[in-house]
Structure 1
C-alpha cells in the first residue's frame, strides 16, 4: 500500500560497508554488523563509562571521530570516543514519562529516542526521531537532523504514519538513509494497543515537499518493529520483517518478509503457511531484522521457533520458502559474514550456516547470551547476563568478557577500531579489544 505524506525533509546517502566508522545500526545498510577493519581480538577489558541523562535503547553510532549517543530523555550527545568526554549535548524535546497519554503504557518509560540514528555524509547530518507530548498537539514524532561536530540543528519536521493514532505508534527500528531518502519504520507499543499499523516512511533528502509511505494493508497491527530497521539492498530496495496482523481469514501481508521499492511500492513478500495461526497466537516473524546473506538468501526467524530461508529476487509468497526447519525464537538483529548468520536467539547467540541451495545448519549456541551480536576479526561480540562477551566465531566458546551493568533489551555493541561501545541503562560504556 502506497500512501502520500504531507511532510518535507532533508538528508540521506547510502553507506554500504562497515569501514572505519559506524554510521548506522549494525554498521551498514545491509545490517551485517561485520566490522572487517576492527582490531583482531586478543583480550577484552573495560575502558570507560559515561553517565548520561537517560537510558540508551538506540545503538551508538560513530561519525568521524565523534561518538554519537541518543537517550530516552530525547537528548543526543557527541562524545570523545577514547575518553567518553562530552564534546556537546542537545536536549531536543521533553520525553514522555506519563504513559497515560499513550494508547497504553508500553514497556519504555520515560520514552524519547528509541530508534538508532543514521548519518548522511551528503548533508552532514545525523538523523533521529523523537516522541513527545503536549496538550495542544498530543503525541508527536519528529525527525531531526543534527551536525555531528557540534549538535547544531539543521532539520526538525514532524513525521507520522497516515491514517493511524499517533499515541499508538512507536518508532523503535533503526533509521536508514539511501539514494535521496531517509527511511523511518513504525510499529506499536508493547501490548499491541490502539489504532496502529506498521509502516515505512520515505522522506525526500533534498527538502522537496511530500514523501511516501508503505502502510501494511491490515485492519490493525502489522508492526514493523525489529530493532535493526529496514535492510537496504544494493539495488535500493528495502526488506522488512512484519509482525502479526489483525486478520486470521484473509491474508493481510502481515507475518512476513516484505520487499519494498524506494517509492514505497510492495514488490514481493514471503509469509509462512501458518500465518493465520501465527497472527492469532502472536508467533510472527516481526521480532528479527531480516538476515541478508551474500549468497542470495535471506534467513528469517521470529517468535515461533522456526527458521526460513527465502530467495532474494523471488521471496515466494505464502509458503514459498526455499527451506524451513525448527531453529530458535529470535529477537533483534543478526551479524552476517557471507553465508554465516549469528542470530540473536533467546537461548543464546547461534551460528547458522546457510548452504548454496538455501538449506541451513545451526553450528553452535552460546547459552544465555541472547543479545544482538556484531562480528569482528577473530570474535563475535554480544551482551548477556550484564556482561559483554567475546565468542569464538567457529565454536562459540567464550574468549573473554567484561561487566557492563544493566542494559536495555536489544542493546547492541558497536565495534570500531580497537573499541567496542555499549549503550546501557545509565549511559554508555566502552571496552578495548586487544
Structure 2
C-alpha cells in the first residue's frame, strides 16, 4: 500500500484523456521534524531456499573451475533482493565454503564459523588455538599478522568434516602448522586432531594455498610457499596428510629440489588441483636459479613449473616455459595462481607475465612443451594475474590486474585460445567464479556480475574492502563475499514484471490468490498488472492523467480503490467493484504528493501531503466521504499507511530531516509524531501481516532498500541492497505472512520480491 514520488518510465503506450476538476481545500501548517542518522545494518529475513550441491573446496571442486552447474539462473539485472552481513573475529584470506545451506568461513584468528546461508546468523564457532604473530618477521618477511588459518579449508561432505591448516604455538617454543578437523554438525574438534605437519619451517614457509582432498577422502594435500619478501631458505612442499580411515599413517612429502636449489614455492591461493584419478597438480613460483635466456635447463630447479604428482605424491611429469630462468630473474613467475583443468583434459595456466598456456594433462611436455602460448590480450606483462580463474566451456575467465576481466574461448580442435570478450571498464578483479549465467568477481569496492556469454555488466553492488586474492562463493543462488573481517551474503532472486515506470509502484491484495500492482507509465496514465494466483496477466491501461504515483487499497475480495493526484492538483479516485472498473471521480483538495490509503472493514482512509507540507487525511465511512483534516507534520514525501486491525491506523512519511516519521491512530486519538531515524531518499511504504506487526521499507542514501520492523518494539534497520530507481511498495497477502515488495530497477522495470512478514 502506498505510493511515493516520481521516477521514470509502465508498459504499453495508450493515452486516455481524463478531465479533472480543481477543488480548493484549506490545509494548515504542522509540526517540524528533527535530524537522525542511518542506523546500522542487521540481518534481513527472507524465504528459505533448498540446499544445492555445495561449494566444498576452493572454486567448488578439485579442478578449480569455479563453476556451479546447479545454480539457479540469475535475473537479467537488478539489485540484491536480500543482503546480510556478519562480522567475524579476524581477517579473511580463505574463500567461504558452503554445504547444505550453511556457509563456513575460516579466519586468521584460527576460528571457523558456520553461518546460516539465508540470514548470516552464527550457527557455531570453533576456536581452540590462538593465532600466532607472523614468524617471518624475525627474518624480515611476511605481511599477515597475526597468522591463523590463511589457506582455504576443504570439506569432506561424506564425513561431514571441514579440514583447515592453522599456525599454532609449539610446545618447545616457536610455532608449527597443524591440520584441524572440525565436525560440521556441532563445530567440535574431531577425535585424533589436530595433526602436526612436520616438514615446513613456519619462519620461511607460509601455508597460503587452498587445501585439496583426494577423491576417496582419505588424504588432504597441503602446499607451502615462501612469505612475502622471499626470505630463505624455503622450498616447494606438498604434504599429504592421511585422514579418515587412513588417519595415523605416515604423512607423504613432496619436495623436488636438491640441497643447492631453493625457492619455487607453491603460493597461489587456488592451491593444488586434483583430477578424477586423484592425481595432484601444482604450480610453483620463481626458483633460486635466475638468468637471461637461453636457460641452462641442466639447472632447472622446478621453479615456474606445473608439476603432476601421483596420489602418493610421486612426480609423474612437469612443464615449464622455455624462459623459466628469465621469469625467475624478473620475479615474474607463473605461480601466482594454480593450474585449471579443462573438460578435454587440457590445463590452462596463466601468471604474472600475462601469458596463457595450454598444456596436455596426460603428458605435460617438460620445458617448452606447451600446446599453445599467447599473451592474454590487454593483460599487463608483469604482475598480471593472481589468485585463480574460472571455466565454463568453452570460456576461461581470467582476472587481469588493472585491466579487468577477460574471457578466453578455448578451441579444442586447434588447441588455441582467443579473446571472446573483456570487461568494458578497467579494474583489478579478484579470482572470478561462474554461476547462473553470471561471472562474479570483486574489485574497487564492488561485487560485479558479468554476463557469462556476452560480458555485459549485469550486476554492480557496493561492498567493503577485502584482502588480497579474495574470491566469492555461490550456493543456491546466494553470492557470498568475504570482506576484510566480515562475510556478506547477497540473493538476487527478484522477479521482473517488466514495464517502464515513471512513478513509485503501489500494490493491493484482495485475496491471498490475487495481487494488483499499479504505477504511472510513460504516457502519464495509470497502468495495472494483476496476479491471478498462478500467473501475472499483461499490463493494462486504466487511463487518467497522473500528477503523481498511485496509492491503492483492497478493502475486500471484490473491491479495490486507487487514488492519484490529478493534473489539477486534486485527489482523484477509481474503484474496481469486483467486475469492472468504475469511472474516475474527484475527491477535491489540493495535494502536493501522491496519496496512500488504508482500510478498516468498509472504512477507507486516504492520506496525502497538502500545500502546507502537512499530512492531510480524508475518511470514507462506508457511505460518504468526510471532510479533509490536517494531521500536521512537515513531510517531504508521499505517505505510506496500513491498518493491522479495527481501531488502528499507522502512517509514515519522510520528514524535512530525511528521517522516517510515524503517526498512529489508536481507535480514538491520533498519537504524536515520532522519528524512526534513517536517511531516506524515497517515500516509505508499510505492510502488516498481523496485529502489532509492521514492516516499513524505504530507499536509503545508497539507493538500496532498507527495512525496519515492529513486533511490539522497533528493531534495527536492515539493508536489503540496491540500487533501485524508485521507492518501494509492500503488501501482505491476506491470511498469510507473505510480504510482497515492489520497486523499480535501474532500467525502470518493475521488480518483485517476497519476504517473511
State the TM-score, normalizing by the size of structure 2: 0.53
Question: 2:492 and 2:197 mapped to 1: Cα distance?
Answer: 39
Question: 1:192 and 1:361 mapped to 2: Cα distance?
Answer: 35
1:39 aligned partner: 72
Shift of 1:404: 1.6
Q: Is the 8 A contact 1:217 1:253 kept in 2?
A: yes
2:177 aligned partner: 141
Would you say 1:305 and 2:354 are equivalent positions? Answer: yes
- Residues 1-59 of structure 1 show CA distances to partners (whole Å, capped at 9, x for unaligned) of xxxxxxxxxxxxxxxxx952111111111111111111211134151101111111100
2:389 aligned partner: 334
Residues 261 and 296 of structure 1: CA distance in aligned 2, closer, same or farther (over 3 Å): same
Question: Which of 226, 232, 238 matches 2:268?
Answer: 226
RMSD: 1.8
Q: Is the 8 A contact 2:52 2:100 kept in 1?
A: no
2:150 aligned partner: 114
Would you say 1:83 and 2:119 are equivalent positions? Answer: yes
Counterparts of 1:93-108 in structure 2, within 5 Å, are: 93-97=129-133, 102-108=138-144
- Deviates further, 363-372 or 138-147: 363-372
Q: Is the 8 A contact 1:103 1:167 kept in 2?
A: yes
Question: Which of 399, 403, 416 matches 1:359?
Answer: 416
Residues 339 and 217 of structure 1: CA distance in aligned 2, closer, same or farther (over 3 Å): farther
What secondary structure sits across from 1:55 in the alignment? coil
Question: 1:100 and 1:331 mapped to 2: Cα distance?
Answer: 22
Question: 1:216 and 1:283 mapped to 2: Cα distance?
Answer: 21
Please identify the structure whose Cα radius of gyration is greater: 2
Question: Which of 415, 420, 426 matches 2:474?
Answer: 415
Residues 135 and 209 of structure 1: CA distance in aligned 2, closer, same or farther (over 3 Å): closer
Q: Which runs of 5+ in 2 are unaligned?
A: 1-50, 291-295, 494-757
- Residues 336-357 of structure 1 show CA distances to partners (whole Å, capped at 9, x for unaligned) of 1123111122122211111122
Residues 128 and 300 of structure 1: CA distance in aligned 2, closer, same or farther (over 3 Å): same
Question: 1:405 and 1:142 mapped to 2: Cα distance?
Answer: 31
Would you say 1:296 and 2:345 are equivalent positions? Answer: yes
Shift of 1:100: 6.2
Question: 2:442 and 2:478 mapped to 1: Cα distance?
Answer: 15
- Deviates further, 44-53 or 128-137: 128-137
Shift of 1:411: 1.0
Question: 1:138 and 1:217 mapped to 2: Cα distance?
Answer: 26
State the TM-score, normalizing by the size of structure 1: 0.92
Would you say 1:212 and 2:268 are equivalent positions? Answer: no
Would you say 1:237 and 2:270 are equivalent positions? Answer: no
Question: Which of 270, 273, 280 matches 2:322?
Answer: 273
Structure 1 segments of 4+ aligned residues over 6 angstroms from their partners:
none
Question: 2:389 and 2:95 mapped to 1: Cα distance?
Answer: 14
1:264 aligned partner: 313
Q: Is the 8 A contact 2:140 2:229 kept in 1?
A: yes
1:384 aligned partner: 443
What secondary structure sits across from 1:276 in the alignment? helix
Question: 2:229 and 2:118 mapped to 1: Cα distance?
Answer: 40
Shift of 1:143: 0.3
2:364 aligned partner: 315
What secondary structure sits across from 1:279 in the alignment? helix
Shift of 1:110: 2.1
Question: 2:128 and 2:225 mapped to 1: Cα distance?
Answer: 22
1:53 aligned partner: 89
What secondary structure sits across from 2:203 in the alignment? helix
- Deviates further, 50-59 or 323-332: 323-332
Residues 144 and 98 of structure 1: CA distance in aligned 2, closer, same or farther (over 3 Å): closer
1:349 aligned partner: 405
Q: Is the 8 A contact 2:436 2:477 kept in 1?
A: no
Question: 1:271 and 1:67 mapped to 2: Cα distance?
Answer: 37
What secondary structure sits across from 1:344 in the alignment? strand
Residues 307 and 70 of structure 1: CA distance in aligned 2, closer, same or farther (over 3 Å): same
Residues 406 and 199 of structure 1: CA distance in aligned 2, closer, same or farther (over 3 Å): same
Q: Is the 8 A contact 1:419 1:431 kept in 2?
A: yes
Shift of 1:401: 1.4
Q: Is the 8 A contact 2:136 2:202 kept in 1?
A: no
- Residues 239-258 of structure 1 show CA distances to partners (whole Å, capped at 9, x for unaligned) of 11111111235011111111
Would you say 1:175 and 2:224 are equivalent positions? Answer: no
What secondary structure sits across from 1:239 in the alignment? strand
Question: 2:250 and 2:450 mapped to 1: Cα distance?
Answer: 46
1:159 aligned partner: 197
Would you say 1:427 and 2:490 are equivalent positions? Answer: no
Query: How many aligned residue pairs are there?
Result: 415
1:197 aligned partner: 235
Question: 2:220 and 2:169 mapped to 1: Cα distance?
Answer: 24
